[in-house]
């Protein structure tokens, strides 16, 4: 199995890349920072997988196309794609600038679409494939204390986009699903500003804690594998129960 994970230099992306490697995949990773991609490649190889690190910016369509072409040239196939690249900032809507809005949507929604399109083209040609778009529980709920309407709506758009693509490509052998994590302990979540919000987040989560990155691996491997061969257009929420409220 060959897999691609975007935004794989750190955090959830790195964790999912390692999870695919542990499941036996050769894993290509892309992101904007070559040094962190190289670290992820080392982790993939330590987990028993072949690694291919490709620096790229998913907001640039030509970069996305180059990534997919490089995988095909190197390994000959792309079976699984996990579009994890995403960005966020906290800005209340009264003060939200056009630049803030565009920055979020260019990566989280537009970037995810053009990644999915490029991946689907080679999968459709091969007759099969699985695409996983990383959304968020924020597609379903409003967070607190942070104000991030632009982020929440970008992830809700991604969930609906994924459903639409799933319906379009199911007859062509390509499954498309979303994985929506809850609050997850990453470098970003442990930054000073977000660390201050963690007591509120854990209090609002029925399981009373944040997820560890490796707790998302099983869900991603499930959606990537034949175990989910009859699953498409689904949003798999892994949030410790947060969205049950």
Determine which one of 105, 151, 183, 230 is catalytic. 151
* DSSP character string of the chain: -EEEEES-SSHHHHHHHHHHHHTT-EEEEEES-HHHHHHHHHHHHHTT--EEEEE--TTSHHHHHHHHHHHHHHHS---EEEE---------GGG--HHHHHHHHIIIIIIHHHHHHHHHHHHHHHT-EEEEEE--GGGTS--SS---HHHHHHHHHHHHHHHHHHHHHGGGTEEEEEEEE-SEESTTTTSHHHHHHHHHHHHHSTTSSPEEGGGGHHHHHHHHSGGGTT--S-EEEESTTGGG-
Catalytic residue check, 151: yes
CB-based contact 20:5 (threshold 8 Å): yes
Catalytic residue annotation: 151
């Amino acid at each position: 199995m060959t897999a691609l994970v975007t935004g794989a230099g750190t955090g959830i992306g790195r964790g999912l890349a390692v999870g695919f490697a542990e499941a036996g995949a050769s894993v290509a990773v892309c992101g904007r920072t070559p040094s962190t991609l190289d670290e992820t490649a080392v982790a993939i190889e330590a987990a028993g997988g072949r690694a291919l690190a490709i620096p790229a910016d998913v907001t640039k369509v030509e970069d996305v196309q180059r990534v997919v072409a490089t995988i095909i040239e190197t390994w000959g196939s792309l079976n699984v794609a996990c579009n994890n690249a995403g960005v966020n900032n906290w800005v209340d809507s009264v003060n939200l600038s056009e630049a803030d809005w565009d920055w979020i949507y260019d990566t989280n929604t537009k970037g995810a679409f053009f990644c999915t399109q490029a991946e689907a083209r080679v999968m459709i040609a091969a007759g099969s494939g699985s695409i996983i778009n990383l959304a968020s529980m924020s597609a379903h709920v409003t967070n607190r204390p942070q104000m991030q309407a632009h982020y929440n709506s970008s992830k809700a758009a991604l969930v609906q986009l994924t459903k639409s693509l799933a319906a379009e490509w199911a007859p062509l052998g390509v499954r498309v699903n979303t994985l929506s994590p809850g609050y997850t302990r990453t470098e970003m979540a442990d930054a000073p500003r977000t660390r201050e919000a963690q007591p509120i987040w854990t209090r609002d989560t029925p399981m009373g804690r944040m997820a560890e990155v490796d707790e998302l691996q099983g869900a991603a491997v499930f959606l990537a594998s034949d175990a989910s061969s009859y699953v498409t257009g689904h949003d798999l929420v892994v949030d410790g129960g947060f969205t049950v409220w």
